[in-house]
Homo-oligomer: A and B are copies of this chain.
Amino acid sequence: MQKYYMTFSDECPKYIQIANNIRKLIEQEILADGEKLPSIRELAKFLKVNKDTIISAYKLLSQEGAVVQILGSGSYAKKKEIIRSFKKEYRETFKKLTSGGLKEWIDFTGETTSANFVPVNNLKKAINEVLDRDGAEALIYQDVMGYEKLRDSINDRFWNNEVSLDNILIVSGAQQGIDIISKSLINVNDNVAIEKPTYIGALNVFKWRKANIIEIPMEEDGVNIKLFEKILKRYKIKCFYMMSYFQNPTGITYSKEKKKKLLELSLKYDFYIIEDDYLSELIYDDSIEYYPIKKMDDHNRVIYIKSFSKIFLPGIRMGYIITPDEFRESFQISKSNTDISTSSLMQRSLEVYISKGYWTNHMEYIEKEYHSRYILMKTILENELKDLVDFIDPKGGLSFYITIKSEVNKNSKELFYILREKNTFITPGVMFYKNSKDGENTFRLGFSQVSSEKIIEGLENIYQGLKGR
């Protein structure tokens, strides 16, 4: 008991101080992993505090994952998995990168388009045109659904006017789209299925909604359908979050058959498909046809999210959702409660940008640029690194997902540290899984932030790193 002794300051609530103390005991391994904590009554008596204070402290630790509470049994210390501290370290490395602490580096962690390809001049023209045309209106107007002309343009250009305009909801980027959908759709303890591995930003939102998260492994043409159906038979699933093109991080594109099958399952087992179409503009191979699940969705089972941020202007948060009819009102209320509406000026500017044809031209331009990087990456990986790694050809998008061959005696976190010394940065697979242990032999190489010259240098560093030299 003595190890729990502590004194209190007035600076912050006691329960936080107690939690801090216990967290420290666990981190310093004074409390072993799995060790039982004192009962609430005991510890309250020992520390001379109210029982509620201990309850709050244990609750806080339990929410953080530092303590496991088992009903009728008690509370147990849980050593934080290495993933947690690693994720933090990764984030900090990333922060240093973006805040310009480094002078020169090779950044394979990028997920969004490069500053070199941002169409500043045309966007500036569009913004000024909007300000001259609409004046204050552009700065004051708020419609929770978004600027009607933009929704109209989206419908016309991307959906052949086949979607009801009332079902297009403008959001401040795809991340907000996921958040808004979750708020309306997902309740505490609902079962949510995701791809394994998946986009961490979505995973975090579902965790935050306190959903039960069920991972379905990816195969070369989409998620493992058989396993998914097994799970559907046992559990009531509320929704399935997926990326139909160039799945993040695997780069995999769903086959038409799997997309159809998913739709069938969603009808049969009554769940919704959240289709995050984040990068489908960048198709480099004619074998890939663009046909999102939403286009096959005759029964209103698909909630479609599109981001304009990843590929166009990451610093401008913009995207849209296509909602099934039954969620139209609830998504709007969710949007309104989240941030009232998306910047009116930027919506209008994007509308002008699209209607003037800038959008199409720009997409053609960056497709060419990224296509050539893709070819270069693929060529080097296939030729120079073939004895060290495996990968699935993504045929599009902005990254490769690499598996280190088992005979190479290194995992991707080790590689991360080795490469960091050479100012080369990769994203280890562990970042894309719900639990640690998974993804140890994989990593993602995004090439949006790396020039051709640097790609050659960076892959050489990776080669050396894996070779152990």
Interface residues of A (CB under 8 A from B): 10-16, 52, 56, 63, 98-99, 112-116, 118, 120, 123-124, 127-128, 131, 135-143, 172-173, 175-176, 179, 183, 187-188, 201, 204-205, 208, 210, 236, 267, 270, 299-300, 309, 313-317, 326, 333-334, 336-346
For A175, give its contact among B99, B326, B338, B345 (CB under 8 Å).
B338
Given known contacts A63-B187, A345-B316, A143 and B337 CB-to-CB distance under 8 angstroms: no
What would be 22 A-B contacts, judged by CB atoms less than 8 Å apart? Answer: A11-B300, A12-B300, A98-B141, A99-B143, A113-B140, A115-B135, A115-B140, A120-B136, A127-B127, A142-B314, A173-B340, A175-B339, A179-B337, A179-B338, A183-B208, A201-B337, A204-B337, A205-B337, A315-B343, A316-B343, A317-B341, A346-B346
Contact residues in B for A201 (Cβ distance below 8 Å): 336-337, 340
The answer to whether A116 touches B139, judged by C-beta atoms less than 8 angstroms apart, is no
Counting every copy of the chain, the complex holds 2
Considering only CB atoms, which chain B residue lies closest to A56 in the complex?
Answer: B236
A102 CB to nearest chain B CB (Å): 15
Contact residues in B for A346 (Cβ distance below 8 Å): 343, 345-346
Contact residues in B for A137 (Cβ distance below 8 Å): 115
The answer to whether A139 touches B127, judged by C-beta atoms less than 8 angstroms apart, is no
Contact residues in B for A99 (Cβ distance below 8 Å): 143
The answer to whether B313 touches A140, judged by C-beta atoms less than 8 angstroms apart, is yes
Distance of A2 Cα from B346 Cα, bound (Å): 55
Which one of A99, A118, A339 has the greatest number of beta carbons of chain B within 10 Å? A339
For A338, give its contact among B135, B309, B338 (CB under 8 Å).
B338
The answer to whether A315 touches B138, judged by C-beta atoms less than 8 angstroms apart, is yes
Contact residues in B for A210 (Cβ distance below 8 Å): 188
Given known contacts A176-B338, A343-B317, A11 and B299 CB-to-CB distance under 8 angstroms: yes
| Extra A-B contacts (11), CB below 8 Å, given A204-B337, A315-B345 | A16-B326, A115-B136, A127-B127, A142-B315, A173-B339, A175-B337, A179-B339, A201-B340, A208-B334, A316-B345, A317-B342
